[in-house]
Chains A and B, each alone.
Chain A
Amino acid sequence: DGGITQSPKYLFRKEGQNVTLSCEQNLNHDAMYWYRQDPGQGLRLIYYSQIVNDFQKGDIAEGYSVSREKKESFPLTVTSAQKNPTAFYLCASSIRTGSYGYTFGSGTRLTVV
């Protein structure tokens, strides 16, 4: 079955370390997205990519970086510059931008220890 796979499900990071969250989709979708969710809050857009080798900053891109070398993959790196990285991170994809619906992964819960 097609879908989005995020790994790992839980991740612990020491302060000052970079960490990379994986997101893979086999839906043949052009567009991919990363969101961050804090407890009791809605989702906030970090980065998005409309096509391979292209990506754009969302509303809260500071302290994060992404790459889109393959259509299927859109990894997110949380750098040491991100001041408060503990959160639930969600990856999504859509056929392309526009009116199309999103498919979400099951998320990665990152905790800084």
Chain B
Amino acid sequence: GESVGLHLPTLSVQEGDNSIINCAYSNSASDYFIWYKQESGKGPQFIIDIRSNMDKRQGQRVTVLLNKTVKHLSLQIAATQPGDSAVYFCAEKKGNNAGNMLTFGGGTRLMVKP
């Protein structure tokens, strides 16, 4: 993902609608991708992950899609709730030799309107 400094892209959705947060990753050698949610004053919270041998993975109300051709990752949240309001980060890891070094995108702020 591209860092955008102080200005985070913001997605504003109505409660109950579906949300789609997008992320472009940088390294075609990356083989593991994760989405984290960060609420104000807290550390990032794991949401869902996907390995490069998959193109879709579903969790509870969340789906991650991976398009390796265009190096694009998306997080879909179904029936968005006020508690989903947070900053969402995608992260990538470049192969097993990278240990646990994650490269993070700049983040997207999700605002849910009641």
Partners in one complex: no
